[in-house]
Amino acid sequence: MSVPSSLPAPVSTAGTPPTQADLLDFVRRTAADAELIASLPLDPEGRTWVRLEGPGGSEAWLIGWPPGTGTGWHDHADSVGAFLTASGELTENSLAARLPSDGWKTLELTDGVDRVRRLSAGQGRAFGRHHVHEVLNESTERHAISVHAYYPPLPHIRRYSRTGQVLRLEQVERPEDWQ
């Protein structure tokens, strides 16, 4: 599925990669397309998603979140990104710490690195490379829908487990694992 042509052109200049601000602008404009948001099939058991055409060669997704679902802790490797809640409310737990990008399996986190953001419809954020977070629909009754964009297209996603202050690298997923 591609983004309807009625959306304004992306902000980034032709030939230059989209910035975090460009991606945030794209997810805002896309989330405002009520017809597109309503077209996403929702499943009461698991997340649903549709790939979108993002700006400047970016990867973009429209994602439906049933009540009580989430991503688990992960990062998007060398990609920058943005996401915005189109309907419902999502919670983002993130780490305000730059983690080593490679060469570790277990990391002891320092106190004070945890951040929590509640993002209701129309709210979102951009993030940089190696941003570790989890996104959750904590509602017990209502689906949430969000729009996400990443540049460069995701080379892989690192999945983590967390127990207290210990973060452990569990798995590296490649695009073929989720497409």
Establish if 73 belongs to a structural domain: yes
Establish if 6 belongs to a structural domain: no
Digit-coded pLDDT (tens) for 104-117: 899 999 999 999 99
Distance CA 69, CA 145 (A): 12
Q: How many domains does one find in the chain?
A: 1
Digit-coded pLDDT (tens) for 157-179: 999 999 999 999 999 998 887 66
Digit-coded pLDDT (tens) for 2-35: 333 334 444 445 579 999 999 999 999 999 999 9
Establish if 2 belongs to a structural domain: no
Would you say the pTM of this structure is higher than 0.75?
A: yes
Task: Please check the confidence at residue 90 and state whether its pLDDT lies above 80.
Answer: yes
Distance CA 137, CA 141 (A): 10
What pLDDT score was predicted for residue 2?
35
Question: What is the phi-psi region of residue 4: left when phi exceeds 0, alpha when psi lies from -120 to 50, beta otherwise?
Answer: beta
Establish if 158 belongs to a structural domain: yes
Establish if 104 belongs to a structural domain: yes
Minimal CA–CA distance to 122: which of 92, 90, 85, 82? Answer: 85
Task: Please check the confidence at residue 103 and state whether its pLDDT lies above 90.
Answer: no
Establish if 3 belongs to a structural domain: no
Establish if 90 belongs to a structural domain: yes
Q: Name the residue range of residue 80's domain.
A: 20-177
Establish if 78 belongs to a structural domain: yes
Question: Using CB atoms within 10 A of its CB, is residue 137 exposed (0-12), middle (13-18) or buried (19+)?
Answer: buried
CATH code of 115's domain: 2.60.120.10
Minimal CA–CA distance to 36: which of 83, 84, 3, 82? Answer: 3
Task: Please check the confidence at residue 152 and state whether its pLDDT lies above 60.
Answer: yes
29-51 average pLDDT score: 96
